[in-house]
Amino acid sequence: MWSRDLAHARKRARATLTEKGQANLHDRDEMIRAAYGLAHVLAGLLDALDKETGR
């Protein structure tokens, strides 16, 4: 998984959460895109955390 550093990953996670939080709950495709985007950014955040702690 690609990540720059923890600060960048946190900023990206917050921005994605704000963006995807606006998704229409009644639009199946929009919800799938939101879930995928959030999963991707969460993986990057965890990667950055692991990198920061030396894992």
pLDDT of residue 15: 96
DSSP assignment of 9-48, as one string? HHHHHHHHHHHHTTS-TT-HHHHHHHHHHHHHHHHHHHHH
Q: Identity (one letter) of the amino acid at 27?
A: D
Q: Per-residue b/e over 11-36, b at no fewer than 16 CB within 10 Å?
A: ebbeebeeebeebeeeeeeeeeebee
Q: Name residue, tokens 């969460």.
A: 42
**pTM: predicted TM-score of the whole model, two decimal places:** 0.82
What are the pLDDT digits (tens) for 19-54? 999 999 999 999 999 999 999 999 999 999 999 888
Mean pLDDT of 4-30: 95
d(CA 20, CA 40): 12
pLDDT of residue 2: 59
